[in-house]
Structure 1
Amino acid sequence: MRGLSLTARLGLLFAACTATVSLIAGVLFNRASEAHFIELDQQLLDSRLRAFRALVIDVDSPADLVPRLDDLQSELRLHPDLALRLEGHDSSYWFNSAEGLRAPGRDGLHDWQQDGTDYRVYSARLRPDDPDSPRLSLALDITHHQHFLERMQRLIWLTVGLSALATALLGAWAARSGLRPLHRMAEVAAGVSASSLTARLPDDQVPPELVELVRAINAMLARLDDAFQRLSAFSADIAHELRTPLSNLLTQTQVILSQDRATDEYREALHSNLEELQRLAQMVGDMLFLAKAEHGLLPARREPLELADELDALLDYFSPLAEDRQIAMSRSGDARFSADRSMLRRALSNLLDNALRFTPEGGRIEVNLTRDARSLQLTVANSGPDIPAELLPRLFDRFFRADPARREGREHAGLGLAITRSIVRAHGGDIRCESANGRTCFTLEFPTP
């Protein structure tokens, strides 16, 4: 069966089922026909036995039988397929209309075959209450019954074979017709490539059993299309981000090498190149981190952490920058959570750094911890201009900036929020952003055990 097509398998299965059902029906019909013939023969033999018994009921010897022979012969001529035998209680033959028939004279109805002829024999005492009574035996020729049953058996086998063959052919045709939507799906799938990921399978022309499969394939194509678009955008973004520092390095190096210069100038150029190289190294490291996160390869070494202490330490680290711009920072709430310390600090540092960059002088940054029976929530909110609602879903995309014309410092490549989301998801949580009424709030939500 492994090498057979699905159409062939279904055709053979239909044929096997039809042959089995036909065979069972044929056998049952054959048994019913045989039982019907036996019942008819039983009724006929019972009636004939009563008639012959009435003719010889008082016979006790062969001599008493002689005056009744003509009547017996007349009755037998009315039934040419019936043979009569009368024998004494000592099994001696008194009368036998079929001299060659030697069927056993046991009581009741039974079958007998002799010289290629089938008989149904019915034997009984002439006088049932007399143990020394003579015995009557009637033999009915049932050869025509047997021939009918044999023809019926041949017809059953022929019907089984033809029905199995017809069902196999019709089943194969039906299976091929039923699988036609799969062939169309295969044609569409074969035409899918990197340049045609927008193709979708129509779900209004397939049987109900295939609707879920079509929808699953369409959803898979949509995910592939989205992933490919994001990969293409990422490739374009990374090329754009790498082009500037590489161009700076190339230009500055060419200028320095264009003529002889003092040692201090060479040293200054090397320091400038070092800054660009560090920026490139940081960008490459961030992209590698994101690639590991997308493939579930972030090694999260969890340990119980007091989040209040971790946040206080970060707020102390950023406090000099906040004081320079007269930005007030505060923390409220307390919670205990198992997480990777270094990864969680990196995520929170990105959020606080982002808040400091976009909070105007004299503004405020608030960090809050809340916990209930189902989740732990950590919010980082800052005052400042609202982020347009249409840009909120893209804040966590790689290299995304709310204002592309604004380059918030050369050290920021637009990967911080993407890294933060990867770290949060690596811990089983999620992150979202809300911005309205001069307040932007990032909410980190983690499930609690």
Structure 2
Amino acid sequence: MRRLSLATRLTVTFTVITAACFILVGWLLYRAAEQRILEQDETNIVLSARHLRRLVAELDSMEDLKTHQDRMVVSVLGDDNNALRMVDDAGHVIVDHNPTNLPLAPQGVVPTGQRIVASMLNTWHGDHDLPIRGVAVVGQMRDGAHVTIMVARSFADRAVLLRRYRRDMALRLLAGMIAAMVLSYLLVRRALRPLRSMAADAATIHAQNLHTRLSAGNAPTELHALAHALNEMLDRLEGGFARVWQFTVDLAHDLRTPVGNLRGTNEVALTRLRTSAEYQALLGSNIEECDRVSRTIESVLFLARADNPQFALQRSTLDVREELQRIADYFEGIALDARVGIEIQGSATISADRELFRRAVGNLLSNALRYTPPEQIIILLASRTDEAVTVAVENPGAGISAEHLDKLFDRFYRVDRSRSDSANSTGLGLSIVKSIIELHGGRVTVDSQPQGITRFVLWFPVH
């Protein structure tokens, strides 16, 4: 099923709302007009009945009434829908003016002396169920004789008038709906023009053209917010593509070196026959290169898994000082060879993944051992604040220039480019540290002074 466009949906919505408003207003106007017409006709009937009763009161006898019939009829003339009948006490019809033969049967008679008001009018129906309104009143002549005056009016002409009014209103309502639909569609399409322009700009964006940004121009505020959000998304995508590209280039470079070494040493070994010792040395060298490739691949796989939102931590409560001691014991042999001491200070407990915690601190300690001068001490410091548990790794040395601090945690980034082919480093250690800390909801910071102390701090939130 084909979905309706936004312009069509808005047009239909506006048209329905406009039609509902037109119908409501039209109905209210119709009811007001109908009520006004009825009230005016009722007023005319009441005034006619009052006038006729006054005229009757001025007459001396029935003979005068018969003589002045025309005068009585004139009081209700001007509309063929009006009817007048006067009857004496004996039931004889004295005056009968009924051009349209209305059935005159008003219920109740207003006695002499009682004021005639609209609430006294009766309603009955004639042919074709058309309503008739009228009133019967008693008039008294000077000689004391009484006459019943019946005044009535048919509303057939009013029904025709109201029917025409309804028809004209319906036609105008239909015309208004059509006009509202057309105008709404044109205005909606015009209002959505910036959105179509943004869609056209978005269609030009691809992997090789991520620098393009959407412009809302003179669009409404809501589209400005949308364009801003999409541009921020494009910034993130562009940054992500750039990191992926750089990551791919760096990974290819780091893998090319050991693979080239493996191929080169093997080609050299095949140029002539070698002794068993030489072949053993060659195999040992190849194993070292394979170990480096394996470490690189394992680190890349870990970072890929850590970037997955579904990565699950195996949290447990850790005694930080105890864990730092175990890590120090693990690196004890390397520290002895480098003539570097490891000192543990402070204590705290945290909720963290044990293996990942050891890996993060181990990577920092490994870097510290690599760059700490002999006869110096590396300090592993645990502390706690109201907001976080911190684990710091401090080591003396040459320090790190400020220009490198912001890039230390980038993948494959090395301060010393001359060591890029080292079998001991993949350039991913600090990236892994950052990923581990972010998985725990924390952060890692670094501070380094030239020819002073370099301090990496892991922040684990208390909660």
Question: Is the CA contact (8 Å cut-off) linking 2:136 and 2:151 kept in structure 1?
Answer: no
Native 8 Å contact 1:52 1:72 kept in 2:
no
The aligned runs of 1:162-177 (5 Å cut-off) are: 162-177=175-190
Single out whichever of 266-275 and 145-154 deviates more from structure 2: 145-154
Deviations 1:365-384 (A, max 9, x none): 22221213322111112222
Q: Secondary structure at the match of 1:125?
A: strand
* 1:347 Cα deviation after fit: 0.8
Which of 371, 379, 385 is the matching residue for 2:384?
371
Q: Deviations over 1:60-106 (max 9, x none)?
A: 9xxx6443033232232352323212346797755421172213212
CA distance in 1 between partners of 2:218 and 2:418 (Å): 49
User: Where does 1:126-165 land on structure 2 (aligned, <5 Å)?
Assistant: 126=138, 135-165=148-178
Task: Return 5+ residue gaps in structure 2 as ranges.
Answer: 109-119
Give the unaligned 5+ runs of structure 1.
none
Q: Secondary structure at the match of 1:16?
A: helix
**Residue 205 of structure 1, CA deviation:** 3.1
Q: Is the 8 A contact 1:392 1:433 kept in 2?
A: yes
| Aligned ranges 1:236-315 → 2 under 5 Å | 236-315=249-328
Asked if residue 37 in structure 1 is aligned to residue 50 in structure 2, the reply is no
How many residues are matched?
443
Note the C-alpha offset of 1:244: 0.8
Aligned counterpart, 2:16: 16
Q: Name the counterpart of 1:443.
A: 457
When residues 88 and 242 of structure 1 are mapped into structure 2, their CA distance, relative to the original with a 3 A threshold, is farther
The question of whether the paired residues in 1 share the 8 Å contact of 2:194 and 2:216 is answered with no
Q: Shift in Å at residue 127 of structure 1?
A: 5.5
Query: Which stretch has the larger CA shift, 89-98 or 173-182?
Result: 89-98
Which of 133, 138, 161 is 1:121 aligned to?
Answer: 133
Q: Give the 5 Å matches for 1:399-410.
A: 399-407=412-420, 409-410=422-423
Partner of 2:73: 76
For residues 5-57 of structure 1, the C-alpha deviation after alignment (integer angstroms, 9 at most, x for no partner) is 11111111111111111111111111111111122112211221111112335
Distance 1:441 1:303 in 2: 26
Deviation at 1:305, TM superposition (A): 1.2
Bigger Cα displacement from structure 2, 4-13 vs 73-82: 73-82
Local SS of the residue matching 1:296: coil
| Equivalent position SS for 1:360 | coil
Separation of aligned partners in 2, 1:394 and 1:297: 27
Cα distance, 1:344 vs structure 2: 1.1
Aligned partners of 2:312, 2:130: CA distance in 1, in Å? Answer: 89
Q: Tell me the amino acid that sits aligned with residue 121 of structure 2.
A: L
Does residue 430 (structure 1) correspond to residue 427 (structure 2)? The answer is no
Q: TM-score, structure 1 length as denominator?
A: 0.91
Relative to structure 1, is the Cα distance of residues 52 and 289 closer, same or farther in structure 2, using a 3 angstrom cutoff? same
SS in 2 for 1:394: coil
Q: Is the contact made by 1:15 and 1:163 (CA closer than 8 Å) also made in structure 2?
A: no
Distance 2:259 2:90 in 1: 128
> In structure 1, what is the equivalent of residue 117 of structure 2?
none
Displacement of 1:329 after TM fit?
A: 2.7
> 1:67 maps to which residue?
64
CA distance in 2: counterparts of 1:203 and 1:403, whole angstroms: 46
Once the two structures are superposed, residues 168-195 of structure 1 have per-residue CA deviations (whole angstroms, 9 ceiling, x without a partner) of 1111111111111111111111111110
Whole-Å separation in 1 of the counterparts to 2:63 and 2:338: 146
On the 8 A contact 2:124/2:133 being kept in 1, the answer is: yes
CA contact (8 A) 1:352 1:380 kept: yes
Task: Name the CA shift for 1:83/1:320 in 2 (closer, same or farther; >3 Å).
Answer: same
SS at 1:300 equivalent: coil
Give 1:330-349 correspondences, 5 Å limit.
330-349=343-362
Q: How has the CA–CA distance of structure 1 residues 13 and 246 changed in structure 2, closer, same or farther, with 3 Å as cutoff?
A: same
Indicate if the aligned counterparts of 2:346 and 2:381 stay in contact, CA closer than 8 A: yes
Structure 2 partner of 1:25: 25
Aligned in 2, Cα 1:92/1:6: closer, same or farther, shift over 3 Å? Answer: farther
Could you tell me how far 1:245 is from its partner in structure 2? Answer: 0.5
- Partners of 1:117 and 1:203 in 2: CA distance: 65
Whole-angstrom distance in 2 between the partners of 1:295 and 1:243: 27
Distance 1:90 1:412 in 2: 132
Cα-Cα RMSD: 2.7
Distance 1:421 1:88, change over 3 A: farther
SS in 2 for 1:422: helix
Alignment match, 1:357: 370
2:410 and 2:431 in contact (8 A); partners too: yes
